Amino acid sequence: MATTPNAAPAAAAPQAAPVVPTIAIIEAMLNMGKNVSDLILSPGRPPQVELSGQLVPVIVAGVTALSPTDTSRIAGDLIGQNKQAMEQLKTEGSADLSYAIPGKSRFRVNVFKQRGTYAIVMRVIPTKIPTFADLNLPDALKEIPHLKNGIVLVTGPTGSGKSSTLAAIIDMINTNYAEHIITIEDPVEFMHPHKKATIHQRELHSDTPSFALALRAALRQAPKVILVGEMRDKDTIEIALTAAETGHLVFSTLHTIDASKTVERIVGVFPMADQDAIRQRLAASFRYFISQRLLPKKDGSGRIAVLEVLKSTMRTRDYVEKGETEGRSLLDAMRDGALEGMQYFDGEIEKLIRIGTIDLDTGLGFSSNAGNLRLQLADFAREQKEEKPDDLLER
């Protein structure tokens, strides 16, 4: 049909805003600084990163606030062809996986459903395996790589640096001993190359359906060292104890806040009738319980790890086996055990406050017993007030 010369042209259809590629968003978030620890992608918010413990919005060209469509698309890009993760997301509402930008960074990723949409948290995994010096770990922990058997646990809340500490220890073993090392992780974080040791890294879901099954299989794979990403259930704990009792050196993590809570958590997953036996086995098998907290530095330059270290001695084994009572606590043992390489949170926090690495309020907020720590620092607080008399009313 002929067109009418004087007809007005049809209005152009509005063009959709260009889709910003997932990798461009992630790279912009990484470029916020070397202290970026987590990337958070949530509907209704701009992309955010955690910098030194604080969430900071990221300006990405073409992205103001993420929509549910954006986070769904990004989740799909991250999951890719990982069928196990996709099935886990459908059935359980969240999925763990690893993701890498070759030559730049690796991530531990959790995709989860919330309010009918998808949100994503990506933990940045450094490409370089950290050393003891990088992490400023206590010299006493340098004994750990030379152990031949037993259990070493690193505990603390999510994001407290547990994986980094274990990576440094495994790397020292890898560098110095011609041994077989097996790690079972969810997902694999630090990629350890073969050095003097031979190291195999198994990932949950893609290489094995569970920690317990992989740990049981590891006992038939002739390792000297076994790392279990997390002791999540009774079966995993029991097999880990068996591995330690049969001459293996076992490393793992728990989400507990200190040594006492670590013992309670392990013993508490077993029926009452079995708990005395478990205490005896744990007392005989444990070598170190290391608990970690990350505290923001006073100068705003990042965070510093504060460690509590419980070492296996005749005294601490007795307390683990028979339980703690008044005057017979693991905290008492750590306070008295400095010459044996032990230390406790509030003692380390006090040192950092006195040398000016962290401020008083921060230290008290992260302490195990703020009242006792305040008493220990009474002289320091008085000195601070004398130096700054104008601050008296504010304090």
Q: Residue 121 corresponds to which tokens in the numbers above?
A: 């948290």
Q: Are 180 and 162 in contact (CB under 8 A)?
A: no
For 325-334, which contacts have Cβ atoms below 8 Å and span 24 or more sequence positions? 329/260, 330/259, 330/260, 330/263, 331/258, 331/259, 331/260, 331/368, 334/259, 334/308, 334/309, 334/310
CATH of 139-343, one of 3.40.50.720, 2.60.40.1250, 3.40.50.800, 3.40.50.300: 3.40.50.300
pLDDT at 370: 95
pLDDT at 381: 78
* Cis status, amide bond into 126, omega within 30 of 0: no
Q: Which helix (H) or strand (E) holds 295?
A: strand 286-296
Domain definitions of the chain by residue range:
22-125, 139-343
Q: What share of the chain is helix, strand, coil (3-state, %, to 5)?
A: 40, 25, 35
CA distance 129 to 118: 31
Distance between the two ends of the chain, CA-based, in angstroms? 85
CA distance 75 to 41: 10
CA distance 17 to 76: 20
Q: Count CB-CB contacts under 10 A for residue 189.
A: 22
Domains 22-125 and 139-343 share a fold: no
Q: Return the DSSP state at 148.
A: -
pLDDT at 246: 95
DSSP state letters, 148-213: -SEEEEEE-STTSSHHHHHHHHHHHHHHH---EEEEEESS--S-PPPSSSEEEEEEBTTTBS-HHH
3-state secondary structure (DSSP) of residue 327: coil
CA distance 222 to 179: 10
Q: Residue 372 corresponds to which tokens in the numbers above?
A: 């006792």
Residue written as token pair 């008290």: 364
pLDDT at 107: 93
pLDDT at 7: 47
Q: Residue 16 corresponds to which tokens in the numbers above?
A: 């959709």
CATH code for the structural domain at 22-125:
3.30.450.90
Q: Return the DSSP state at 298.
A: T
Residue type, 381: A
Residue 253's nearest CA partner among 167, 148, 137, 366 is 167
Q: Are 256 and 291 in contact (CB under 8 A)?
A: yes
Task: Provide the residue-wise pLDDT of the chain in tens; the chain has 395 residues.
Answer: 444 445 444 454 444 557 899 999 999 999 998 889 999 999 999 999 998 788 999 999 889 899 999 999 999 999 998 888 899 899 999 998 889 888 888 899 999 999 999 999 999 988 889 999 999 999 999 999 999 999 999 999 988 999 999 999 999 999 999 999 999 998 888 999 999 999 999 998 889 989 999 999 999 999 999 999 999 899 999 999 999 999 999 999 999 999 999 999 999 999 999 999 999 999 999 999 999 999 999 998 888 999 999 999 999 999 999 999 988 999 999 999 999 999 999 999 999 999 999 999 999 999 999 999 999 998 887 877 776 655 544 54
Q: Are 191 and 197 in contact (CB under 8 A)?
A: no
Q: Are 60 and 71 in contact (CB under 8 A)?
A: no
pLDDT at 393: 47
How far is C-alpha 87 from the geometric centre of its chain's CA atoms? 25
